[in-house]
Structure 1
């Protein structure tokens, strides 16, 4: 089975969407599937206003349609709702080709933080985008329930995983050499990540931020007591997790949070708000703490079990995540059901 994954998010971006697709490509052959990619690399791109690290493809429907035909896929999966995803959706509808989509990002909440756009309008647009396909893959049960309330149809689960060999406890490692305890954040440094909720906390020890983004300069200026180390990958990132005492995840808008699994796999307890993503993963508070008072959660997580954190992460493998994706695609291929929206829009 050959699946073409269309994604606006791709290298050199460092985020959960890119990491998920990379792991899908690596593990799919074990389940009888080959993954081809259609990414912005095939197009002229322009920087996203206010976020130049992300580049948008200037994707014409005719070119995208030709590239899909050239790939000769058995199935098309559209991973993102950007210009490339939009063009692929239109091309599939015109050709009567089956396709599925993913809901990786809470755009209504993200847009609201940056512009005075009501969430209901963004949800209406996203609902139209996703309901045109044969299934919407989501990472968690709570996100599925939430989207169902917003009128999304044909929802199916595609969970996430972690590389538990790279991200593992490393006793004695301390790359920061800072006063303990060390409270760590890893991820984009952007408004939607709600980093101020972490950086403004009155906590003992030290705060470390790993990652980059449009808010970094402002936050470094406003919170000089925190250490900002920029983006890290591979062994350097794994050592950063292993060198810390608590992972603080302040976002209220993520759909999952792969970094949570990376922290847990490193034996690092997690503190977070009880929202979609953290609440789906941290079902065992022995591995961390969830609280609307993020400071209380961070302090409580100091006494959480590093062994329990590691054990919880080991339940989430990339192989099992890939199996769920492949099973979803096979289900669509073998029993494609007609649905009301068939007109190109």
Structure 2
């Protein structure tokens, strides 16, 4: 079979999150391997880096997404999306988000008779339930997703945990579900970026034990529970370093005296240094389908603490850190204090986390993704 053309459409490409970094890295890998892979998005946001196979079609208007303030809810120009897809003539269309941009792509694919495949990046029913605590909202979201994904010929899951969830929730046939191999840019996240002098910039004692969290500071990520632990406990020389957009109300005046530092958005080398220069990583989210930031932390040689619910628990083991019930405060404190000892157990977890990531490059993930897409098309032609 001749090499294929793939077009991926996503509502999020220029945002500061794991999905955006993943798509950007895929676009770069496609260029390096000379694959015909194009990304289409629609946002008023700009990116610090121009990637030639990513097309940003300016939307008609945009507003802040409810419950996800770092994302925009846009009204895309349907005809621009449809015409660009028609011009590209892809053999297969990937839709990585079920938002307004993804919906325009889905309708376009139906009109242009292009087979559609999806990537299930976000567990929206759980995400919205955590933010609203409304069972009605969860059920409506689930109903929308069932309709949205109904005519997809295949769907990729980011972790084994969600293969079963997708099959049950979306009533999707298991034979049409594929695991998207985990991968990150391991060159950008590596222990070689360690630089203890960076802590002077943030007025943080470099000799303290630094627990890092990266991602949105929001309800469904459970970061508020972490912060409350620091406010209630006297950790003294244990600091919580929080990197990302803040989407919940916090009294920042009280935080630093309790050892909580909100550093905001960080990108490129600044982010790489923060990973490599911290002592461990904690990710309390229970709704992430993968948790790319956990992979980035492990690639930076950090032992990790993750929830026993969600995607990260499928690749994290006791060799690399701890899998805990995030609702149990004592489990969180126990894991952090054990790591703080910096003993042989800590060193082994750090080394094994780093070594585990050596073959989890974005290149491995992209090439596996490409091969599966070729198989999907071959099977389609056989029918």
Shared fold (TM-score, shorter chain, > 0.5): yes
Per the alignment, residue 119 of structure 2 pairs with: 102
Secondary structure at the counterpart of residue 133 of structure 1:
coil
Distance in 2 between residues matched to 1:320 and 1:258, nearest whole Å: 15
Q: Pick from 147, 150, 163: which aligns with 2:185?
A: 163
Q: Is the 8 A contact 1:47 1:53 kept in 2?
A: no
Distance 1:32 1:329 in 2: 16
1:152 to 135, 150, 172: 172
Deviation at 1:60, TM superposition (A): 4.7
When normalised by structure 1's length, the TM-score is 0.90
Secondary structure of the 1:36 match is: strand
Shift of 1:118: 4.2
The residue aligned with 1:85 is 102
- Flag the structure with more relative contact order, 1 or 2, with Cα contacts below 8 A and sequence separation at least 6: 1
Q: Which residue of 1 aligns with 2:309?
A: 275
Q: Deviations over 1:153-207 (max 9, x none)?
A: 3211112212222222245524223252111101111222110222222445111
Compute the TM-score of the two structures, normalised by the length of structure 2.
0.81
Aligned partner of 1:227 in structure 2 is 261
Alignment of 1:148-297 (within 5 A): 148-150=167-169, 151-153=171-173, 154-170=176-192, 173-176=196-199, 177-178=204-205, 180-201=208-229, 202=233, 203=235, 205-215=238-248, 217-218=249-250, 220=252, 223-224=255-256, 225=258, 226-283=260-317, 285-292=318-325, 293-297=331-335
Separation in structure 1 between the aligned mates of residue 273 and residue 294 of structure 2, nearest angstrom: 15
CA contact (8 A) 2:289 2:312 kept: no
Q: Deviations over 1:45-69 (max 9, x none)?
A: 3122444432233125444222210
2:133 paired with 1:119: no
Whole-angstrom distance in 2 between the partners of 1:10 and 1:16: 10
Q: Distance in 1 between matches of 2:382 and 2:227?
A: 50
Q: Structure 1 residues 308, 49: CA separation in 2 closer, same or farther (over 3 Å shift)?
A: closer
Contact 1:4/1:37 (8 A) holds in 2 = yes
CA contact (8 A) 2:183 2:360 kept: yes
**SS of the residue aligned with 1:20?**
helix
- For the Cα contact (< 8 Å) 1:272–1:294, is it kept in 2? no
Following superposition, the deviation at residue 79 of structure 1 comes to 1.1
Structure 1 CA distance for aligned equivalents of residues 284 and 251 of structure 2 = 14
Q: Distance in 2 between matches of 1:172 and 1:121?
A: 48
Aligned residues of 2:22 and 2:184 also touching (Cα < 8 A): no
Q: CA deviation at 1:86?
A: 0.6
Assess if the C-alpha contact under 8 Å between 2:60 and 2:77 holds in 1. Answer: no
List gaps (5 residues or longer) in structure 2: 43-55, 326-330
- What's the Cα RMSD here? 2.3
Instruction: Give the Cα–Cα distance (whole angstroms) in 1 for the partners of residues 308 and 81 of structure 2.
Output: 40
CA distance in 2 between counterparts of 1:192 and 1:268 reads 23
Q: Does 1:138 align with 2:157?
A: yes
Once the 2 structures are TM-superposed, how far is the Cα of residue 279 of structure 1 from its aligned partner? 1.0
2:308 aligns to what SS in structure 1?
Answer: coil
Note the C-alpha offset of 1:227. 0.5
Distance (Å, rounded) in 1 between the aligned partners of 2:102 and 2:254: 37
Which ranges in structure 1 are unaligned for 5 or more consecutive residues? Answer: 340-345
Query: Are the structure 2 counterparts of residues 20 and 290 from structure 1 closer, same or farther at C-alpha, using a change threshold of 3 Å?
Result: same
Paired position in structure 2 for 1:342: none
Q: CA offset at residue 269 of structure 1?
A: 0.7
Report SS of the residue matched to 1:196: helix
Aligned partners of 1:109 and 1:321: how far apart in 2? 26
Paired residues for 1:1-12 under 5 Å: 1-11=4-14
Q: Is the 8 A contact 1:45 1:55 kept in 2?
A: no
